[in-house]
């Protein structure tokens, strides 16, 4: 049965895109932190949406469970197959085309296997910003970002993938394709089906493409590290920063003393001080660099006098 499945699959997407040798499938079997180890039947690397749809139909016919996998960076085992040897891992990395960049509409449509870093570069080439940014951006893929509803560093200002997505294309569990790729912002009609798939971790279908929002590129950034006594004080700071800088406040992270002590072990003096709690504040703006820095320094000085 599995021999027939694999040979039909090989005819469908090409034998070299159906990995079965232990060394070839090894990277797909283990979670990034090596806490989960699985054993798939094989790994399939389809190259087009049509191939994904055919693959899903075939898997349904042969009752083969599917495990979608993007960059395999999600660190919680959801992209790892179980140990039964029955599941087919579906790697989306060959779906890496740019379908459209519409700078006038501030949107771009990409296939799901485009890495996040590449998506940022595509936006930058059109003098736009795609604001999702995570430490794994060199490896994680747009499909994985959508399936996990990734947040990243600039959530305060731009939101998670839910807020960054205008349209989706998904292959459903029966092989039908739900095409809702659209750059329309004021879509007030009916249910917003795409939101079902965002954050669903591959349970409801395989995401093959998405239309994503773009923004004006910030021309200025200003950052500050501030030591505070406790989390309540940090929340006061967040409120005050929002009041003063509104949506120019781009990032606001809180780090414990233990976290910074650990970082100092690796980075030495790059960690300038260790307070009970440390805030990392980032502002960004389309105005000049000097003006933004000046505004932040002025505000910090005034607040220092208050405290
Ligand atoms: C150093 C580091 C920093 C990180 N920082 C953040 C952070 O700041 N914010 C954050 O949210 N996450 C963060 N992550 C977690 C991770 O990078 C993100 O969750 C990322 O979005 C996962 O993308 P991926 O392509 O690697 O997905 P994978 O790990 O391959 O898959 C994740 C899930 O999505 C499913 N999936 C993948 N592709 C598809 C698809 N095309 N269609 C349907 N389902 C699919 C998989 O089955 C699995 O359930 C970080 C990870 C690392 C290692």
- Residue 119 near residue 142 (C-beta atoms within 8 A): yes
Please return the burial class of 269, using the count of CB atoms within 10 Å of its CB with bins 0-12, 13-18 and 19+.
exposed
Mean residue pLDDT of the chain comes to 95
Determine the residue of 148, 171, 209 to mutate for testing ligand 1's pocket, defined as the one with the most ligand atoms within 8 A of the Cβ atom. Answer: 148
- The pLDDT of residue 187 is 86
| pLDDT tens-digit readout, 215-246 | 999 999 999 999 999 999 999 999 999 999 99
- Can you tell me the mean pLDDT for 171-176? 97
Which atom of ligand 1 lies nearest, measured to the CA of 197? 43
Q: Where in the chain is the domain with CATH 3.30.43.10?
A: 2-91
For the segment 110-124, what is each residue's pLDDT rounded down to a tens digit? 999 999 999 999 999
Residue 246, classed as helix, strand or coil, is: helix
The pick from 136, 142, 170 for probing ligand 1's pocket by mutation, whose C-beta has the most ligand atoms within 8 angstroms, reads 136
Q: What is the pLDDT of residues 49-104, one digit of tens each?
A: 999 999 999 999 999 999 999 999 998 899 999 999 999 999 999 999 999 999 99
Measured CA angle at 263 (ends 28, 148), to 5 deg: 35
Cα(276) to ligand 1 centroid in Å equals 31
71: Cβ below 6 Å to ligand 1? yes
Angle, CA of 105, 194 and 189, to the nearest 5°? 70
Find out whether the beta carbon of 73 lies less than 6 Å from any atom of ligand 1: yes
* Amino acid 269: pLDDT: 86
Q: Which atom of ligand 1 is found nearest the CA of 152?
A: 8
Where exactly does CATH 3.30.70.2190 map onto the chain? 220-306
CATH architecture of 2-91: 2-Layer Sandwich (3.30)
- Helix or strand or coil: residue 176? coil
**Residue 109 pLDDT > 80:** yes
Which overall architecture, per CATH, does domain 220-306 show? Answer: 2-Layer Sandwich (3.30)
pLDDT level of residue 306 (50, 70, 90 thresholds): low
Task: Using DSSP bridges, classify how beta strands 277-285 and 249-256 pair: parallel, antiparallel or unpaired.
Answer: antiparallel
Cβ contact 212:164 at 8 Å: yes
Q: Computed from CA positions of residues 82, 92, 106, 74, in that sequence, does the dihedral angle turn out positive or negative?
A: positive
Ligand 1 centroid–CA 249 distance in Å is 25
The dihedral over CA atoms of 183, 206, 19, 109, expressed in degrees to the nearest 10, equals 0
Give CA–CA dist 49/57, Å, rounded.
Answer: 13
Q: Which CATH architecture has domain 98-216?
A: 2-Layer Sandwich (3.30)
Which of 58-62, 165-169, 279-283, 302-306 is predicted least confidently? 302-306
Give the pLDDT of residue 125: 98
Specify the domain boundaries for CATH 3.30.465.10 within the chain: 98-216
Kindly indicate the confidence band of residue 180, based on its pLDDT and cuts at 50, 70 and 90: very high
Instruction: Using the mean position of ligand 1's atoms as its centre, give its distance from the Cα of residue 133 in Å.
Output: 12
Which residues sit opposite 170 in a β-bridge? 178, 207
Mean pLDDT of 8-23: 97
């Amino acid at each position: 049965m599995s021999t027939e499945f694999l040979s039909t699959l090989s005819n469908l997407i090409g034998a070299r895109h159906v990995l079965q040798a232990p060394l070839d499938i090894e990277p797909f079997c283990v979670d990034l932190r090596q806490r989960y180890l699985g054993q798939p039947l094989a790994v399939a690397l389809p190259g087009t949406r049509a191939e994904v749809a055919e693959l899903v139909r075939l898997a349904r016919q042969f009752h083969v469970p599917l495990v979608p996998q993007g960059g395999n960076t999600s660190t919680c085992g959801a992209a790892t197959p179980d140990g039964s040897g029955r599941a087919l891992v579906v790697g989306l990395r060959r779906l890496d085309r740019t379908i459209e960049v519409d700078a006038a509409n501030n949107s771009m449509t990409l296939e799901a296997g485009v890495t996040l870093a590449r998506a940022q570069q595509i936006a930058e080439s059109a003098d736009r910003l795609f604001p999702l940014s995570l430490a794994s951006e060199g490896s994680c893929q747009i499909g994985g970002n959508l399936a996990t509803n990734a947040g990243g560093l600039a959530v305060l200002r731009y939101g998670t993938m839910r807020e960054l997505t205008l349209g989706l294309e998904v292959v459903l569990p029966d092989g039908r394709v739900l095409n809702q790729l659209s750059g329309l912002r004021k879509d007030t009609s009916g249910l917003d089906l795409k939101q079902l798939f965002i954050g669903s971790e591959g349970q409801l279908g395989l995401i093959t493409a998405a239309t994503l929002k773009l923004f004006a590129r910030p021309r200025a950034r200003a950052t500050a590290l501030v030591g505070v006594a406790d989390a309540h004080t940090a929340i006061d700071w967040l409120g005050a920063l929002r009041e003063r800088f509104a949506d120019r406040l781009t990032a606001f992270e809180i780090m414990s003393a233990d976290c910074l002590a650990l970082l100092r072990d690796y980075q030495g003096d790059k960690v300038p001080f260790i307070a009970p709690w440390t805030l990392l504040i980032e502002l960004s703006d389309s105005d000049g660099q000097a003006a933004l820095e000046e505004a932040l320094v002025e505000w910090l000085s005034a607040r220092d006098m208050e405290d």
